[in-house]
Amino acid sequence: MAETARHHEPRYGNRPTMKDVAARAGVGLKTVSRVVNSEPGVTPDTERRVQEAIDALGFRRNDSARVLRKGRTASIGLVLEDLADPFYGPLSRAVEEVARAHGALLINGSSAEDPEREQELVLALCARRVDGLIVIPAGDDHRYLEPEIKAGIATVFVDRPAGQIDADIVLSDSFGGAREGVAHLIAHGHRRIGFIGDQPRIHTATERLRGYHAAMVDAGINVQDSWVSLGSTDPSRVRAAAEAMLSGPEPVTALFAGNNRVTVTAVRVLADRERPVALVGFDDIELADLLGITVISQDAAAVGRTAAEHLFRRLDGADDAPARVELPTSLIARGSGELPPA
């Protein structure tokens, strides 16, 4: 152990490099590079010798070095709210599939709906020089991304428009979906309809509320303040909001739930009551068919796929004006939305 580490030596726990492979195979460095990258101009015999050295040493190309030279990382970043949310799993998976088809890896991070954390994540991804970025915005000001986009990081926003910045955007028709859902309840005889949604700083929450109002106005119904509640999707908050709307002298006879988490809690609240209350939820949920829950369904995978396809179009050089794609939602009637007023 008389070895003296004279100079710095990161070497990743002592991995062989192309130089090592070259030495062992008795060829030049560039020849190894050619073999590793399947470039032409190597005789079968040389190639075999190089390959043997690669296998013997357990060589694996260091992509960090490669990236440094080539300028492209063959990776894209996805910043979403929470991977544990059943809406984002399929979305992320769809993005991954498209990335894979383009030979790229996906790095994703959860912002936990915190604008600061979103920025932190996005900048970390930029520092790693991802080729492109798909962002489900938590914050409402994305000017911090300007230098990045100018520097060539293609960016697509999803689910909510970006603040203060011009870029491609893919979203579901929150307004139209909510409007349709609420109109559905009205068509089944309801007039006093409650709306429970996510925090007002979240774009989809206000869009869906706008859809609710539009449907009510269309029907000539005067919305009472007490019928609307925006806030955290924490079960206790949602439960309290629902119970408030369902009690008192003039309780609502139907509820519109602004997203999947609200729906889940609403279903639980309604399960505890004897008087039937109609319910339509935004977002489909697993097993909702068995529980007979009527929902406005949005296709998370389609959203992810569309966003990723737009991103790679940009990466392939498309430079037309930023597009805004709005994907339709669909109402799935399963019973809870068709209950008449009690």
Partner DNA sequence: ATGAAAGCGCTAACAA
Partner DNA sequence: TTGTTAGCGCTTTCAT
E strand map for the chain = 75-80, 105-110, 132-135, 154-158, 168-172, 193-197, 228-230, 254-257, 278-282, 294-297, 324-327, 330-332
Q: Residue 143 touches which of a second copy, DNA, none (CB < 5 to 8 A by kind)?
A: none
Q: Smaller CB distance to a second copy: residue 97 or 210? A: 97
Q: Is 88 helix (H, G, I), strand (E, B) or coil?
A: helix
Q: Residue 31 touches which of a second copy, DNA, none (CB < 5 to 8 A by kind)?
A: DNA
Q: Smaller CB distance to a second copy: residue 63 or 250? A: 63
Q: Smaller CB distance to DNA: residue 21 or 242? A: 21
By the 8 A CB rule, do 171 and 327 touch?
yes
CA angle 138, 143, 147 (to 5 degrees): 125
Closest of 161, 164, 196 to residue 178, by C-alpha? 196
Q: Smaller CB distance to DNA: residue 67 or 244? A: 67
At CB < 8 A and 24+ separation, what contacts does 311-315 make? 311/76, 311/132, 311/133, 311/134, 311/154, 311/155, 311/156, 311/168, 312/98, 312/99, 312/102, 312/132, 314/132, 314/154, 314/156, 314/168, 315/102, 315/131, 315/132, 315/154
- Closest separation in Å from C-beta 58 to DNA: 12
Q: Residue 317 touches which of DNA, a second copy, none (CB < 5 to 8 A by kind)?
A: none
Q: Residue 2 touches which of a second copy, DNA, none (CB < 5 to 8 A by kind)?
A: none
What is the DSSP code (8-state) at residue 62? Answer: -
Q: Smaller CB distance to DNA: residue 45 or 319? A: 45
Q: Residue 189 touches which of DNA, a second copy, none (CB < 5 to 8 A by kind)?
A: none
- Closest separation in Å from C-beta 76 to a second copy: 11
Q: Smaller CB distance to DNA: residue 48 or 201? A: 48
What is the DSSP code (8-state) at residue 1? Answer: -
Q: Smaller CB distance to a second copy: residue 128 or 324? A: 128
- Closest separation in Å from C-beta 89 to DNA: 34
Q: Residue 107 touches which of DNA, a second copy, none (CB < 5 to 8 A by kind)?
A: a second copy
Q: Is 316 helix (H, G, I), strand (E, B) or coil?
A: coil
What DSSP line would sit under 93-154, residue for residue? HHHHHHHHHTT-EEEEEE-TT-HHHHHHHHHHHHHTT-SEEEE--SSS--GGGHHHHHTT-E
- Closest separation in Å from C-beta 33 to a second copy: 14
- Closest separation in Å from C-beta 35 to DNA: 9
- Closest separation in Å from C-beta 128 to a second copy: 5
Enumerate binding residues for DNA (CB under 7 A): 7-12, 15, 17-19, 26-31, 33-34, 36-37, 40-43, 45-46, 59, 61-62, 65-66, 68-70
Residues 146/148/153/154 CA torsion (nearest 10 deg): -10
Enumerate binding residues for a second copy (CB under 8 A): 10-15, 58, 60-65, 67-73, 75, 82-86, 88-90, 92-93, 96, 105-110, 123-129, 146-148, 150-153, 264, 267-268, 271, 285-291, 301
- Length of the chain, please? 342
Please state, in angstroms and rounded to a whole number, the distance separating the CA atoms of residues 265 and 278: 14
Q: Residue 34 touches which of DNA, a second copy, none (CB < 5 to 8 A by kind)?
A: DNA
Q: Residue 86 touches which of a second copy, DNA, none (CB < 5 to 8 A by kind)?
A: a second copy
Q: Smaller CB distance to a second copy: residue 93 or 192? A: 93
- Closest separation in Å from C-beta 145 to DNA: 18
